[in-house]
Structure 1
Amino acid sequence: MPHPPVLIAGAGPSGLVLALILLKNGAPVRIIDKERTYQIGSRAPGLHPRTLELYATLRVLDDIFNSAGKIVPTAVYDFGALVPKATTLLLKYHEPTPDVPHASTAVINQDEHEEILRAHLAKLSCTVELGAELRSFEQSADGVVARIVKTAEDGTQNEETATFDWLVGTDGAHSVVRKQLGLSFLGETRTESIMALGDINIEEGLDPNHMWNVGPKMIMLRPHGVTSTMFSFLFKGRSEYLMNKTLTGDEFAEEFYALTGRRDVKFGEAGMMSDYRPNIRMVDRMHQGHAAHCHSPAGGQGMNSSVQDAGNLGWKLALVHKGLAPTALLDTYDEERLRVIAHMLGLTTALLDKGEGQLGKKDFQMQQHGDAMRMLGVNYRGSSIICEAADAAGAESDPYAEAAGSRVQAAYRAPDAPELMPAGIQGAATRLFEVFSTSAHTVLVFGGDADARAPVVDALARFPPGIVRAVLLLGQGHAVPSDAPRFGVIFEDRAGHAYRGYGVDADALTVVVVRPDGVVGGVASNAEGVEQYFHRILIAV
């Protein structure tokens, strides 16, 4: 039986998301993980707004929200105090808006998060192959030969050699793919900032979020759910004799009692227990030949960044696999993501430095870097495949800064717009995030008349089938035009959110090309502008 064209090594969130995107693009995958059981525990629990937007396009967001919790206040204590000195929101709540409906971070334990993604993979007849470890690989001009060692439940091992067109490592900081590609992983590990992480049952004494923070010592506790007795903890400042070992549940309980004096808190069985040392590191490139790596830096945005790596890589790899795009398109994965990751590490390092000893103070919130941590401003300015406006091309930009002005711009996220009504037929209202697709470019056509739109529709018709969806957005109260049959989808912007959110005029033709990762690839006023973008990514149009 032939092997799927893509091997994904690592079944954390980034690997699962990449598998989903590729499968939705018609590219079969095999996803393996060296662990013999699915990992249990909270670990990275925060999904930031930009990740939520990708999940909306992947059609998994409803299930995420069904399991996710909201940001709630944290009670902050001095050590030994029985009454909190303050309550604070470590992450600010943002009211949703028509263009940013998922404005705040969602809190969901990583094991639940991964279970939801695996369930969506199962709907596409794909399952994670546990106990299968990528040990090494060799590349040629034609693909990758992977050496995989499979461990059965009884511990016996069997070695397999398999050939794939493409290999992607989503296997974390100790990635075999990264190491064998010879990618640098330069930076530092903050050994002095070692923290204990874990999950533990609290049978009595606490219910909401709690924090004790004085000097270098800190304890944070967060319940897994409104009715759950399982709490996640973060503990910094353990006793010297415990520094070189992973804490047990009993050892954490004794450290907690010694620091807080809260003997009224009764601990039960512990779950996942581990250590965390902040790693401030990044690679010098993320792709070489037929192998690629999803970066997994530690820090407040590591998991979210690696998921967005998968969003950036997935659609490009699918087009190359189908023979519709040159392999050079994969070089833009490095080009676009490395500058973003470098800037992200700077932000999270500054937050780490500033946060030492400051967490829990009334005026401290993790959004001290403004809205950057929500990742809504992450952009690909200067990318060789982005068709930027003449006055923007070549200008230096902050990879995390939102676009200035009210008009939609290339290289930035595509805003949402609700209350779109099917034009000329009966149907329920929808929104742009439900129109966008991870398996096709969405070409939004605003304004103009049939004569102005005709060359654009003609150009889109010349592109390979299935990679473009043309969507005509009519202004409020506009009748269905004569060229309606030439568009697959037509909506009336009944409430005006789309025209306002994109800053466009109903009288002038504006064409917005939205990539499968939700980034605006180009904004044009004619067919030539649209063709210019697709000429940059496709072999022939």
Structure 2
Amino acid sequence: MSNSSVLIAGAGPAGLVLALILLKNGVSVRIIDKEMNHRIGSRGSGIQPRTLELYHILGILPNILEAGEGVGLLAKYVRGETKPMGTFPLSEHIEPTPDTPHPNGHIVTQDAHEEVLRAYLRDLGCAVELGSQLLSFEQFPDSVVARIVKTDTDGNQVEEDTRFDWLVGTDGARSIVRKQLDLSFLGETQSEHVALGDIVVEGVDPKLWHMWNEPPKLLVLRPSGSNSKVFMLVFIDRSKAWADKTLTREELIEEFYAMTDRRDVTFGPATWLSNYRPNMRMVDQMRVGRVFIAGDAAHCHSPAGGQGLNSSVQDVINLGWKLALVQKGLAPETLLDTYSEERLRVIAQMLQLTTDLHEKTFRGDGKNHDVWFRGGDVQMLGVNYCGSSIVQEDGAVRGAGATAYSKSSAGRVQAAYRAPDAPGLVRVRAGSDDTPTRLFDVFSVDVHTVLVFGGNEITHVEVLGRLPKETVRAVLLLPQGQTTTDGASSALVLEDRAGHAYAGYGMRVDELSVVIVRPDGVIGAVSPTAEGVERYFQKILI
């Protein structure tokens, strides 16, 4: 039925982003989801600054930003009072800088988020196949045969066995793919009962988050948008009162009135409800042969800190470019082993971070408002791949001992960390206009970007001559005020007219420095020589 190279099982944000990356790399995909209709509801709605940067590189950021808004204030109430005892920021507002243009998180309900991603997929000729469930699969040396059952709107079912080159399970915490691979999913289940769902609420300000805390119970109304009456109602009970029972809409509303004594607040329909006990779990590998897992299929966590959805997206951005290179015959299959190598270290620290935040946020007495404040590491701008076997760290302090959530302190850009942005770049070429561009617009998910700073004509020619042609975009960055080329015609030549590239990357005008930016926006190498550049690509390509 399908000649697609990659089957993606699960059409949440992780699966949709992976499909988009593979298609942009010229790799055919089939993305399926067992649901008959696209999921509704806000669910995971916080998009962190690092994910916004990756969406910028992916070319989808404007529509993501348009679909949501910034993080608001938290209003805390005393029982029976209609006015809050105070409002508190959930995060510090940070002014953009040249190297970090998206420093603040953004709230986009997950259904709106997914619709934006699906629209971009439709533009590339791909649609999510609803009502299609992966039942099982069998691996062979050169392929995976997937058994899929397709259910139509009348309930009729048809099974098929289809061969793919690769299978990726982005099918959630109850992942069929993970279970069939028989992967460990170690961790713990928290004791408290959590009930949540989206519900229409009248009588509260949609621009604010609203919280009532009477230990052992906590209740939060999180807005879906300043022009919406839909809120996510989150109820947490740390007692044994509800144990493993399922709360209905009516029971949730009764709990609300009992905790708040706010009869001025009324409720409309609930679009979805969920009851669970928080799990903090992860696998110990994310690849078995030709099958991968990503997102919630590989790790589940407390929602505290808003890291889960973002980690899921960053999983597939790490996997996507590697899988594309291997599928196109440009990289050895061993490159795919670095997916687990790089991501498991990050996920382990993410789970520690979110578990610590869960303890502070949901198990305190509610008197310390600071536990709701989010900043620093949760922005994910310091997530790195220090110690990776494919990172080439010439001339830099080796970062193998750095934690996965930590920013470089080397005084200049360092391999394994995010590549900063730099605006104010102007093309240097006869007939080109002076419209400025920026590095985040130059980077791409389908090529490595090689930035050449400083040096002279001889060193430029040597570096460019050693670059692989099919997988690289070379960019020669001239210092501010230099507008003549030196014969490096194979490169995109940009004048750093605003000076942000040299300053932000910590580069000198009189010294050759080459920065290799991977398709996932991570610096793969910083080298002062052409030989160093060549050594990096020997780690990546055939």
Alignment TM-score, normalising by the size of structure 2: 0.95
Mapped to 2, the partners of 1:106 and 1:498 lie a distance apart of 26
Aligned to 1:512: 515
- The structure-2 alpha-carbon separation of the partners of 1:492 and 1:359, relative to structure 1 and needing over 3 Å to count, comes to farther
Mapped to 2, the partners of 1:389 and 1:344 lie a distance apart of 28
Mapped to 2, the partners of 1:504 and 1:88 lie a distance apart of 41
Mapped to 2, the partners of 1:8 and 1:78 lie a distance apart of 48
Q: C-alpha displacement at 1:3, in angstroms?
A: 1.6
Matched residue SS, 2:69? coil
Mapped to 1, the partners of 2:372 and 2:55 lie a distance apart of 23
Letter in 2 for 1:145: V
Aligned pairs for 1:359-378 (under 5 A) are 361=367, 363-367=369-373, 371-378=376-383
Aligned to 1:145: 145
Matched residue SS, 1:486? coil
Letter in 2 for 1:459: R
Letter in 2 for 1:255: E
- The 10-residue stretch of structure 1 (65-74 or 320-329) with the greater mean CA deviation from structure 2: 65-74
- The structure-2 alpha-carbon separation of the partners of 1:394 and 1:303, relative to structure 1 and needing over 3 Å to count, comes to closer
Mapped to 1, the partners of 2:486 and 2:333 lie a distance apart of 40
Q: C-alpha displacement at 1:224, in angstroms?
A: 1.4
Aligned to 1:414: 419
Mapped to 1, the partners of 2:367 and 2:496 lie a distance apart of 46
Matched residue SS, 1:168? strand
- State whether residues 7 and 29 of structure 1, in contact with CA within 8 Å, keep that contact through their aligned partners in structure 2: yes
Aligned to 1:267: 267
Aligned to 1:338: 344
- The structure-2 alpha-carbon separation of the partners of 1:363 and 1:206, relative to structure 1 and needing over 3 Å to count, comes to closer
Aligned to 2:354: 348
Mapped to 1, the partners of 2:399 and 2:69 lie a distance apart of 42
Does 2:481 match 1:446? no
Q: Pairwise CA RMSD of aligned residues?
A: 1.7
- State whether residues 461 and 488 of structure 2, in contact with CA within 8 Å, keep that contact through their aligned partners in structure 1: no
Mapped to 1, the partners of 2:313 and 2:377 lie a distance apart of 17
- State whether residues 329 and 537 of structure 1, in contact with CA within 8 Å, keep that contact through their aligned partners in structure 2: yes
- State whether residues 205 and 266 of structure 1, in contact with CA within 8 Å, keep that contact through their aligned partners in structure 2: no
Matched residue SS, 1:485? coil
Matched residue SS, 1:364? helix
Does 2:278 match 1:278? yes
Alignment TM-score, normalising by the size of structure 1: 0.95
- State whether residues 89 and 365 of structure 1, in contact with CA within 8 Å, keep that contact through their aligned partners in structure 2: no
Mapped to 2, the partners of 1:136 and 1:205 lie a distance apart of 47
- State whether residues 196 and 235 of structure 2, in contact with CA within 8 Å, keep that contact through their aligned partners in structure 1: yes
- State whether residues 406 and 501 of structure 1, in contact with CA within 8 Å, keep that contact through their aligned partners in structure 2: no
Please, which of 366, 384, 390 is the counterpart of residue 385 of structure 1?
Answer: 390
Mapped to 1, the partners of 2:508 and 2:398 lie a distance apart of 23
Aligned to 2:184: 184
Q: C-alpha displacement at 1:464, in angstroms?
A: 4.1
- State whether residues 14 and 295 of structure 2, in contact with CA within 8 Å, keep that contact through their aligned partners in structure 1: no
Q: C-alpha displacement at 1:357, in angstroms?
A: 3.9
The Cα offsets for residues 30-69 of structure 1, whole Å up to 9 and x where unpaired, read as 0000111111000001001111111111111000001111
Aligned pairs for 1:65-214 (under 5 A) are 65-190=65-190, 192-207=191-206, 208-214=208-214
Letter in 2 for 1:172: G
The Cα offsets for residues 275-322 of structure 1, whole Å up to 9 and x where unpaired, read as 232211010100011000104222331111111000000000000001
Letter in 1 for 2:166: W
Matched residue SS, 2:111? helix
- State whether residues 213 and 357 of structure 1, in contact with CA within 8 Å, keep that contact through their aligned partners in structure 2: no
Q: Percent identity, aligned pairs only?
A: 56
Mapped to 2, the partners of 1:477 and 1:200 lie a distance apart of 58
Number of residue pairs matched?
533
- The 10-residue stretch of structure 1 (208-217 or 527-536) with the greater mean CA deviation from structure 2: 208-217
Letter in 1 for 2:387: G
Q: C-alpha displacement at 1:71, in angstroms?
A: 1.1
Q: C-alpha displacement at 1:483, in angstroms?
A: 1.6
Aligned to 2:443: 436
- State whether residues 382 and 407 of structure 2, in contact with CA within 8 Å, keep that contact through their aligned partners in structure 1: yes
Structure 2 residue runs of 5 or longer lacking an equivalent are: none
- The 10-residue stretch of structure 1 (503-512 or 423-432) with the greater mean CA deviation from structure 2: 423-432
- The structure-2 alpha-carbon separation of the partners of 1:211 and 1:109, relative to structure 1 and needing over 3 Å to count, comes to same
Mapped to 2, the partners of 1:445 and 1:395 lie a distance apart of 25
- State whether residues 76 and 211 of structure 1, in contact with CA within 8 Å, keep that contact through their aligned partners in structure 2: yes
Mapped to 2, the partners of 1:303 and 1:221 lie a distance apart of 20
Matched residue SS, 2:370? coil
- The structure-2 alpha-carbon separation of the partners of 1:205 and 1:18, relative to structure 1 and needing over 3 Å to count, comes to closer
Aligned to 1:327: 333
